[in-house]
Amino acid sequence: TVVFAYDDIYSVKYFGEPLRAYWKRDGKTTEKIIEEAFSKYGNFKSRCDEFDINLCKSAADAGGEKYAQLLRLSVRQIMAACKLVVKNNGEILYITKECLSNGCAATVDVAYPTLPFFLLYNPVLAEAIVRPAYEYVKSGKWPYKFAPHDLGTYPILNGQVYGNGFKMSMQMPVEECGNMIILIDAVCRREKNYSLANDNIRLLKLWSKYIEKYGEDPGNQLCTDDFSGHMPHNANLSIKAVMGLIGFSDILRALGDTNEAEQIEKVARKYADSACVRAKDNNGGYRLAFDRAGTFSLKYNAVWDKLWNSNVFTAEFYQTEIDKYKEKSLPYGIPLDSREKYTKSDWEIWAACFSEYKEEFEQFVHSVYAAFDTMHTRVPMTDWYYADTSNMVTAFRNRSVRGGLFMKLIFEKMVEQS
């Protein structure tokens, strides 16, 4: 047994304040941690083995053996791409790192696909992932009425750096407002405790109003798939706005504001119906953008509708999408949309969750597994690759977004609980 330890002394700078890693709490030193690692190795190893066995069984039951292998490969990467630190008041922050993309820290649209893993295994860490973004806005250092993209370049978290900081044309207003509401509601549902939402109700109302105003038919702006560029009338982005409103209506209902909750839900359902009508394509499936006939895209944002049983989208919507994905499938996955042949594996798994049938879900998993099994670039798991060749597109690798692969297990957990 060999132990190698690296002590970064301070882990991040959080608005000028140096913060230490969580493991250093109570005055622990590197030497003490190494000593514990040796003395408790047997216990740690048996716990890891137990976790591995349980993960493999639950994943195989949910999506087959290849799905289990994808999740096994993801666990260490998800956690290694985050940094757990402690503030002076004792609160924890779990900082996501955009490893080898642009280096941004605490990115909201990275937290979005990361969260499923922590919703399953540690909702306290899930809450710690969203904490930096709302604290940033509450500090008064964020100038807009929509949610931010990031808090800086790791390990310096002094404010957003993406898009030259505050440059309006490079913001993701509908994307990040929808993300923050969905993330906070998802954490509250998981913990069966809405105090997080109650503590941030002013911001949630602000962001809800923004997506209510601009989300039905988003303007020419970026979404999390920013590598594809700006695009107006993005159907999947509109779906995110719908789910953000559904999330906020759930929060309001849980906090006792039933009338407002019903009004928000009515708006969400109206927008969902509107999106389906305007996005429906004559060639089957639903368009990438409302005004682009003959296009398609993965409507992964609708996965929350399936998960929460909110039923704002019909069974016909999901089946039509699944049929379109099968039609457009390439040897190593389904393209993200009709503009390019590249895909995002986390979004593929979310879209695969639209299916009610395990065998169908396994078909989607098979192509993702084949991509990683044949990929020539030998790097930690990438989330962005070409679905026709399995070649990695660029430096999107070893990122925490692998957490999105665990979405199917959340569905299975809900079935168990019911």
Model pLDDT for residues 83-124, shown as the tens digit of each residue: 999 999 999 999 999 988 889 999 999 999 999 999 999 999
Across the range 337-348, mean pLDDT stands at 97
Q: Which pLDDT band, with edges at 50, 70 and 90, does 374 fall under?
A: very high
Please name which of 168, 149, 169 lies closest in space to residue 103, comparing C-alpha atoms.
149
Give pLDDT, residue 414.
73
Enumerate residues 6+ apart whose C-beta is below 8 A from 107. Answer: 96, 98, 149, 150, 162
Q: Which pLDDT band, with edges at 50, 70 and 90, does 416 fall under?
A: low
Greater model confidence, 46 or 378: 46
**Percent share of the chain, pLDDT over 90:** 90
Enumerate residues 6+ apart whose C-beta is below 8 A from 85. Answer: 11, 12, 14, 19, 20, 21, 22, 92, 93, 95
Phi-psi region of 91 (alpha: psi -120 to 50; beta: other; left: phi over 0): beta
Alpha-helical segments (H) within 232-314 = 235-254, 258-279, 303-308
* Res. 418: pLDDT tops 70: no
Across the range 330-344, mean pLDDT stands at 97
Give pLDDT, residue 99.
87
Q: Which pLDDT band, with edges at 50, 70 and 90, does 290 fall under?
A: very high
Gyration radius from the chain CA atoms: 21
Please name which of 44, 10, 120 lies closest in space to residue 408, comparing C-alpha atoms.
120
Please name which of 124, 176, 122, 168 lies closest in space to residue 149, comparing C-alpha atoms.
176
Across the range 353-377, mean pLDDT stands at 96
CB 320, CB 329: distance < 8 Å: no
Q: What are 152-164's pLDDT values in tens digits?
A: 999 999 999 999 9
- Exposure letters 342-359 (e unless 16+ CB within 10 A, then b): bbbbbbbbbbbbbbeeee
Across the range 139-144, mean pLDDT stands at 97
CB 181, CB 189: distance < 8 Å: no
d(CA 168, CA 159): 15
Give pLDDT, residue 417.
63
Q: Which pLDDT band, with edges at 50, 70 and 90, does 5 fall under?
A: confident
* Res. 221: pLDDT tops 60: yes
Partners of residue 14 on adjacent β-strands = 17, 157
Q: What are 234-246's pLDDT values in tens digits?
A: 999 999 999 999 9
Angle between helices 235-254 and 201-214 (to 10 degrees): 140
Please name which of 277, 413, 304, 365 lies closest in space to residue 68, comparing C-alpha atoms.
365
CB 231, CB 293: distance < 8 Å: no
Give pLDDT, residue 400.
96
